[in-house]
Structure 1
Amino acid sequence: MAWQWFHRLGSPRWFYEKTTSWLPWLAAISIALILTGAVWGLAFAPADYKQGNSYRIIYIHVPAAFLALAGYYIMALSGAVGLIWKMKLPFMVMKSAAPIGAVLTFISLVTGSIWGKPTWGTWWEWDARITSMLILFFLYLGMIALQQAFQHRDTADKASAVLALVGMVNIPIIYKSVDWWNTLHQPATIKFTSKSSIDPSMLYPLLIMVIGFYCFYALVLLLNTRFEVLRRESKTQWVNDLLSDTKMESKS
C-alpha cells in the first residue's frame, strides 16, 4: 500500500486533483499566522535591551532564512527522487521551488544587511554565514538558468537535479558557519536541543511567523507546481477536459 501511494504521489494528475482542496485552507492559515505574528512581534513585543527596536526585523529575516535553507532541501530531495525513480512530478516540484528559494534567500540577505547596519555598523561583511548564504542565492539562480539553458526538458531536469544535489554541500556550511568560524553573525537564538537565548515574549511571535512562512511557502510551492503540471501536461486529455470544464463554468 505504501509503495502504491508513493507512485500515486508521483502522478501529476493525482497531485493536481488532490491539492485543489488544500489551497483555500493553506491561504487562510498563512494569512492568519503571518498577520498575528507580525502584529504581535512589531507592535507588542518589547524592545531589545541592546538593539532597541532594530531587532524587530528578525520577524522577517529569520523565517525567510529558515525557508531559504528548507526550500533547498525540498528542491534537492525532489531532484534525487526524480533521478532515482524517474518520476515526472518531482522534477516539476524541483523547478517550481527554485524561484521561491531565490526570492527568500534575497529577502534574507537584504534584511540581514538592514539589520547589520545598526548592529555591526556596516551594510555588508564577508562573514562566513553571509557569504555562504550568498552562494545559496547563486545556486538558486543557477537552477533557474539551467532550466532555461536546455531545449530538451529531460536534460534540463537531470542537469538541475545534479546541481541541486552538489549544492547540498553548502547547507551544513551555512548551519555550522557560526560555530566553525569566528564570525560577526550571532549564534542561533532558536534552539531545539537546549534553551533558546531569546526571551519568550519575543520568541512566541517569531515562532508564529516561522510557521506562517512555512504555510505560505507550501501554498506558493503548490501553486507553482500546479501551474507547471498544467504546462507540461497541456497535451494530455485530462488537462484538455479540465480547461474545457473551466471555460464552460466561466460562461455559465
Structure 2
Amino acid sequence: MNILKKIQPLVGLATLISLAVGLWYVYRAPADFQQGGAVRILYIHVPSAKLALLSYIFLTIASILYLWKRYEGADILAEAAASVGAAFTVITLASGSIWGKPMWGTWWAWDARLTSMLVLLILYKGLMVLRHSLDDPVKGARATAVLAIVGAVDLPIIHYSVVWWRTLHQPPSLTASENTAIHIAGPLLPPLLILSVAFILMGLYMLTVKARQIEARRHLDALEAARMHHDD
C-alpha cells in the first residue's frame, strides 16, 4: 500500500490538469447537428460508463488474486474498487437519464444497455452489503470475491448489448459497429478522449484514497481487537 501513498499526489495533479483541459475543449466543442447542446452530456456519460466497467474489471482481478494468494492488499483494493465503481455507475445512470429525456422523451426505458447497467449497480451494492453482513472479515472477503467473479458475466452483456439487440441506446461512441457507421469524430472527439483519460485518472485517485482509508480502518479495528483481548 505504500506505493499508493507515493503516487496519490501525482495522480491528483494529473487529474486536475486533464479535467481542466477537457472542460476547455468541451466549452469550445460545437453543438451536434441532431442533439444540439444536449450532446455535451456525452462527455460525462461515456467516461463514467467506461470507469464503471473498468472498476469492475479491476475488482474481478483483485478478487481472483485474493482467492489465489490470500493477499490482504488485493482484498483492500477490491473493497475500494467496489465503492469507486458504484459511484461511477450512479453517475452513468443519472447522466443517461438526463440525456434520455430530450432524446427519447422519457427518463428511463427498460433498454438492454440501461437494464444491464442497473444490474451492475445492484452487483456493486450487493458486494458492499455482503462484505459487512458477515461477522468474520475473512469469510466476508471470500464471499464477496466469489460473488464479484460470478458477477463479471454482466460485463460482456453491457458492452455488447447495443450490438446483440435492437435497443434505444446509441451504438458505441468511439468505434463504428456492424449496425451503424456513425461514431464520434471531428471536433466532438478530442474532448471525449481527453475527459476519458481524466476520468481514468480521477478513478485511480479515488481508488488510492479509498484504499488507504480502508487500510487505516482495518488497522484500527485490529488494534481495538487486540486491546479488548488484552483487557480480558
Q: TM-score, normalization: structure 1?
A: 0.84
Q: Which residue of 1 aligns with 2:8?
A: 23
- Find the aligned partners of 2:182 and 2:125 in 1 and give their Cα distance: 33
- Cα offset, 1:108, TM superposition: 0.2
Q: Which amino acid aligns with 2:129?
A: A
Look up the equivalent residue of 1:198 and give its one-letter code.
I
Deviation at 1:36, TM superposition (A): 1.2
SS in structure 2 of the partner of residue 182 of structure 1: coil
Q: Does 1:49 align with 2:49?
A: no
Matched, 1:231 2:217: yes
**Residues 156-182 of structure 1, C-alpha deviation per residue, up to 9 Å, x if partnerless?**
000000110010010000000001100
Q: What is the percent sequence identity of the aligned residues?
A: 38
Maintained 8 Å contact 1:190/1:196: no
Deviation at 1:192, TM superposition (A): 9.1
Q: TM-score, normalised by structure 2?
A: 0.91
Mapping for residues 60-99 of structure 1, pairs under 5 Å: 60-99=44-83
CA distance in 2, matches of 1:38, 1:160: 37
In structure 2, runs of 5+ residues without a counterpart are: 224-232
How far does residue 109 in structure 1 lie from its aligned partner after superposition? 0.3
Aligned residue for 1:151, secondary structure, equals coil
How far apart are the structure 1 equivalents of 2:37 and 2:90? Answer: 23
Unaligned runs of 5+ in 1: 1-14, 237-252
d(CA) in 2 for partners of 1:223 and 1:121? 39
- Supply the RMSD in Å over aligned alpha carbons: 1.7
Residue 137 of structure 2 corresponds to 153
In structure 2, what is the equivalent of residue 241 of structure 1?
none
- Contact 1:33-1:208 within 8 A present in 2 as well: yes
**What do the CA deviations read for 1:190-239 (whole angstroms, capped 9, x no partner)?**
12999972123111111110100100111110111112122223457xxx
Q: Is the 2:163–2:177 Cα contact (8 Å) retained in structure 1?
A: no
- Counterpart of 2:42 in structure 1 is 58
Which secondary structure state, in structure 2, belongs to the residue aligned with residue 233 of structure 1?
helix
Distance 1:122 1:231 in 2: 43
The amino acid that maps onto 1:125 is: A
Match of 2:105 in 1: 121
- Give the Cα–Cα distance (whole angstroms) in 1 for the partners of residues 187 and 54 of structure 2: 26
Establish whether residue 207 from structure 1 lines up as the match of residue 193 from structure 2: yes
**Where does residue 167 of structure 1 map in the other structure?**
151
Measure, in 1, the Cα distance between the counterparts of 2:79 and 2:177: 33
Query: What one-letter code is carried by the residue in structure 2 that aligns with 1:105?
Result: T
Offset from partner CA, 1:104-141 (integer Å, 9 cap, x none): 10110010011011111111000000000000000000
Equivalent residues, number:
220
